[in-house]
Each structure stands twice: as C-alpha cells, then as structure tokens.
Amino acid sequence: MTKRTWSERSGSALDQWVRITHMLFCCGRDNGAYAIQKGVGIMELIYGLVTGILFGFLMQKAHVIRYDKQVGAMRLTDFTIFKFMLSAIIVGMVGIYFLKDAGIVSLSVKSTSLGANIIGGLIFGIGWALAGYCPGTAAGALGEGRWDALIAIVGMLVGAALYAEAYPALKASVLAWGNLGKITLPDILGLHHWIVIVALCVIYVGLFFLFRLVEKVE
C-alpha cells in the first residue's frame, strides 16, 4: 500500500496556486524561475527550509553544533551531544513507530552493507574528529559564527566530488561486501518492535543516569 503524505493530499493547494500564477505571469516564457523545480514541488522546498530552521534553532540552543562539544563527545569529556541525540532518538523512535502502526507514515530503511557501513563509518569518524563538525552541524556552526566550519564545508564538497569519482570502483568492491539488505533491529532479533523500542528507551535513560554519575565524579 502506498501511503500519501499530508503535503500530497492537502498541501498541494499552494503548489497549484504557485503553478497557476507562474503560468499567468510567465506565459510561454520558460525563464527558469519555477521551471528549475520541475518535479520537486515548491511546498517540499518550503517544508525543508522551515524544518531546517527549527532543527538548527534547537541545536544552537543546546550548544551541540560547536567544535568543543563535538570533539568533547568523542573524547568522552562532554555528554551534551549524547543527551541531545538520545532524547531525540527516544521521542522520534516512539513517535514514528506510533504513526507507522496507525498506518499514517512509512519507515525509510537504508540497506545494511557491512563493508560499506564499517569501513565508511571508520573513515567518517577520522574526518569528523579532524574537522570537529559533521555535514549537518557544519552548517549550523557557520550560522553561529564559526568560520572554520566554512572551511570544513568546502572540504566536504571536495570529499563529495571525490566520492563520485571513486564510486564505480567502490560499487563492485566495498559496497557489495556483506550486503544484508533493508533490515531493522526488530527483524534481526525476531522480536515485536515495541519490545525493542521499550528496551532501547530503558538503555538510553540508563545512560542518562550514567552520564550524571560520571559528571559528578569529575
């Protein structure tokens, strides 16, 4: 069953309006103003911008986008990022599965490939530790005035271009190693998803208490 999102069902009214206005004012002339977004609806872009603003606002308020917090997390001397991420995971996990069970949304599961995930993850970790920013937080860090994040962003663009060149060679090797397909934790464990969700919530809340304990010792 294909599920339609709210934007497809109701939000397209504005999209229609933009399309009609575009037709009226630019009749016949394909000047590219709206044509650039063929197939990407303008609403989708507005949703992206608004969601990003909210997310960036929250990350800045929690101080999780700055270098000292990122590297502090990797050195296990600062638990702010763990607290933020695990809280977001708990709420997101419960919320998304609740909506999925209600039949309103569907999961977006990426394929697991042991070669790609392990080797790629290790490479990412080295780069993340050196830069002190990851792809999303680099943008946020630049927003709060950290100029070195701009240099990291330029590096990331170069890294993306290099990966595009390496992709044909990697596709036949690393990316194909240990390909397990689109699996989830409940699938592997053979347990009902709510059992796994509750267990993970208990573990994460346990970690919160552990962080407080370690902070007290320090």
Q: How far apart are CA 164 and CA 208, in angstroms?
A: 40
Among 28, 32, 103, 145, binds other proteins (CB under 8 A): 145
Size of the residue set binding other proteins (CB under 8 A): 114
Q: Is 12 in the site for other proteins (CB under 8 A)?
A: no
Q: How far apart are CA 141 and CA 125, in angstroms?
A: 18
Is residue 177 within 8 A of residue 111, CB to CB? The reply is no
Q: How far apart are CA 205 and CA 218, in angstroms?
A: 20
Q: Footprint of other proteins on residues 13-32 (CB under 8 A)?
A: none
Among 14, 22, 34, 143, binds other proteins (CB under 8 A): 143
Q: Is 45 in the site for other proteins (CB under 8 A)?
A: yes
Expressed in angstroms, the distance from the first to the final Cα of the chain is: 53
Among 20, 40, 180, 214, binds other proteins (CB under 8 A): 40
Identity of the residue, 27 or 122, whose beta carbon is nearer to other proteins in the bound complex:
122
Nearby residues of 7 by Cβ (< 8 Å), 6 or more positions away: 41, 43, 44, 47
CA 101 to chain centre: 22
Q: Footprint of other proteins on residues 74-93 (CB under 8 A)?
A: 80-81, 83-93
Q: Footprint of other proteins on residues 177-196 (CB under 8 A)?
A: none
Among 20, 129, 180, 191, binds other proteins (CB under 8 A): 129
Q: Is 130 in the site for other proteins (CB under 8 A)?
A: yes
Is residue 44 within 8 A of residue 72, CB to CB? The reply is no
Q: Is 207 in the site for other proteins (CB under 8 A)?
A: no
